[in-house]
Structure 1
C-alpha cells in the first residue's frame, strides 16, 4: 500500500471530532459531574434538545429520497432482518460468553445496542464510498430509523431481563411516541415550509444532533459516576467489552455478506446490505436509552453503544476501501478496451 493510500485510510479510521468530544464529555462528567438541582436543570434541557433533534430529523428527511429506493423490497427486508432479527439473536447467543467477562449491566447495554435501528449518515456515506446502491441505502437507513422508534422499545422489553431497570414495552412505546415520534412527525409536516432552510443549514444543524447526544452522555455519566461507575469498571472489563463488540460486528458482517450473495443480489446491493445492516445508531440510541431506562443504569447501558459506534466506523471504513478498490479493478479493463 502506498504512503498516500495509507494516509487516506488512516484519516478514515482515526477518531473523528465528535468521538473526541464524547471522550471529553465522559472525562468532564467523571471529574465534574452534575448533581442535585443542577442535574434536574440539565435533564430538562436534555429533554428539549432531544425533541429538537427528532424534529430536525423529520424536517431533513426528503420524501423523494425515501421513494427513490422503496420498491427494492427484498433488499430492505434483508437489511431490516439483519438490524432487528440477526443482531438480537446473536446478542442472546453471546450471553454465556459476555457474562463471563462483563457485568450484567454492560450485557444489558449489549442487548440494548442489538435492538437499535441502523445509522443514516454513516450507512449512506460508507455505501457511497464503496460504490454501492446509494438510493437504496437512503431508503433502508431511513426506514430502519423510523421503524426502530416502534420496534426498539418492544425488543428491549423482550431482550432485557425482567429485573433490569427499564420500562414496560407499552410504557416504553408511549414514551417514545410522545418524546421522539411526535417531534419527528411535526418536522415532516412542516418540511414543506422549512425544508429548504433546513437543507441550507445542515452543517450548522448537525450541532443540534451532536449537542443533544453530548448532553445525554454528560447527565448519564454524571449519575453513573455518583453511583461508583469507575470503581466497578476495570481496564480489563473495558477491553473485554471492546472484544465482545468486535465479535458482534464481525458475525453480523459475515452473515449479511453471505446472505446477500446466497440470495443473488448484485455487488452494489450487497454493499448496501452489508453497511446498512451492520450499523447501530448512536444518534437514535442515546435519546432512546434516556427514555427507556432509569437514570441510575443509563451510563452502563450506553457505554457499549458508544464503543460500538467508533468500532463500526473504523472497521467499515476499511471494508469500504476494499470494496472501492475491487470496483476500480473491475472497471479498469472496461476503460482500457
Structure 2
C-alpha cells in the first residue's frame, strides 16, 4: 500500500522524503556533521558543474533577448514573490520558530524549477521553448540575486531571525555554486555531449546531491528538536501559510500573464515558471548560507511548497490541455 502511494510522487520527492526519514531516525551529529557537510559541499559542486555542462549558452542568450516575457517574469519571481515571502514572514514570526518563519523569505526569493516547470508547461500545451529558457535563466540569476536578497533581508531589521550569515558567505557561494557552473560552461564543447547522452545518470546525480543537502540540513534541525519545537497547531499554521504562498504564486503569475496580454502558450509557460520554486537551487543554497541546525528549519516551507506545487500542477496542466486534446 505504501509503495503504491509513493509511486504517485516524482522520484525527487520520494528521495526527499527518504532523506527526511533518515535524518529523523539517524541524524548526523557531532564530528560527523563536518564530514557530512564536506560531502554535501562536494555533491553541490558536482551538481552545478553538471548544470554548466548541459545548459547551452545559446539558449540562455536567446531567452535573455525575449524581454517582453523574461523581464516581467524576473520581477515577479524575485520581486513580487520575495515581498510575499516577507509579508508571510511578518505574520509567522510570532507564531513559528524564527528560522522557520525566515524560510518564507528564503522561499519567496528562490528561482523557479527547470524540469517540472517545463514538463507541466508541455503537458498543458504551453510554449516549452520559452519555459526551458526562462527557467534556466532564472536559475542562473538566482545565484546572483537570491543569496544577496536573503542576506540583506535577514540582517536588515530582523536580528531576531538573523542566522548569522554575512557578505563573506558570498565567497563560499562563488566557490561552490558559481565556479563549477562557469567551469561547466567552459568545458561544454568537450563534455556537453557526454552529459547529454547520459541524461538518466546525470538526473540521478542531481537528485542524490539535493538529497544529501536535505539530509545534512534536516539532521541539524532534528538535533535542534524540530519534532518537539513545532507542535500540531504550528504545523497547521505552517501548512496554511504555505497554502497562501501557493495561491498567491499561481493566481498572481496567471493574472500577470493576462495583464501582459501573452498568448495562451506563453501565458501557460509564464504560470509554471512564475509560480513554482526550485528545491534544486534551494537545498544547496540553504546548505551554504546557513549552519545545518538552521538550514533544516529554513527549508521546511520550501519542502512543503515543492511537494504541494507538484500536486497542484498536474490537474492544472490537464485542465489547460485535456488528454484527449493532445
TM-score, normalised with respect to structure 1: 0.89
Matched, 1:244 2:234: no
Matched, 1:298 2:295: yes
Query: How far apart, in 2, do the equivalents of 1:186 and 1:154 lie?
Result: 22
Q: In the TM superposition, what is the alpha-carbon distance from 1:155 to its structure 2 partner?
A: 1.0
Larger mean Cα displacement after TM superposition, 177-186 or 214-223: 214-223
| CA distances 1:122-160 after superposition (whole Å, capped 9, x unpaired) | 111111111111111111111100011010111102322
Query: How far apart, in 2, do the equivalents of 1:173 and 1:31 lie?
Result: 33
> Of the candidates 279, 282, 291, which is equivalent to residue 279 of structure 2?
282
* Correspondence list, 1:43-62, <5 A: 43-62=37-56
Query: How far apart, in 2, do the equivalents of 1:94 and 1:216 lie?
Result: 25
Structure 2 partner of 1:192: 189
> Of the candidates 74, 87, 106, which is equivalent to residue 112 of structure 1?
106
The residue matched to 1:131 in structure 2 has which SS? coil
Structure 2 partner of 1:3: none
Structure 2 partner of 1:257: 254
Matched, 1:157 2:154: no
Give structure 1 regions of 4+ aligned residues with deviation exceeding 6 angstroms. Answer: 10-13
Structure 2 partner of 1:24: 18
> Of the candidates 52, 68, 87, which is equivalent to residue 74 of structure 1?
68
Structure 1 partner of 2:199: 202
Structure 1 partner of 2:33: 39
- Unpaired stretches in structure 1, ≥5 consecutive residues: 1-9, 332-337
Structure 2 partner of 1:143: 137
Do the aligned partners of 1:111 and 1:156 also contact (CA within 8 Å) in 2?
yes
Query: How far apart, in 2, do the equivalents of 1:20 and 1:76 lie?
Result: 32
Number of residue equivalences: 319
Structure 2 partner of 1:132: 126
Structure 2 partner of 1:320: 317
Q: In the TM superposition, what is the alpha-carbon distance from 1:304 to its structure 2 partner?
A: 1.2
TM-score, normalised with respect to structure 2: 0.91
Query: How far apart, in 1, do the equivalents of 2:216 and 2:286 lie?
Result: 12
Q: RMSD of the alignment, in Å?
A: 2.2
Structure number with greater Rg is 1
In structure 2, relative to structure 1, the CA distance for the partners of 1:166 and 1:212 (3 Å cut) is farther
The residue matched to 1:94 in structure 2 has which SS? helix
Do the aligned partners of 1:127 and 1:272 also contact (CA within 8 Å) in 2?
yes
Structure 2 partner of 1:4: none
In structure 2, relative to structure 1, the CA distance for the partners of 1:321 and 1:11 (3 Å cut) is farther
Query: How far apart, in 2, do the equivalents of 1:11 and 1:266 lie?
Result: 37
- Unpaired stretches in structure 2, ≥5 consecutive residues: none
Query: How far apart, in 1, do the equivalents of 2:185 and 2:90 lie?
Result: 43
Q: In the TM superposition, what is the alpha-carbon distance from 1:209 to its structure 2 partner?
A: 1.0
In structure 2, relative to structure 1, the CA distance for the partners of 1:151 and 1:25 (3 Å cut) is same
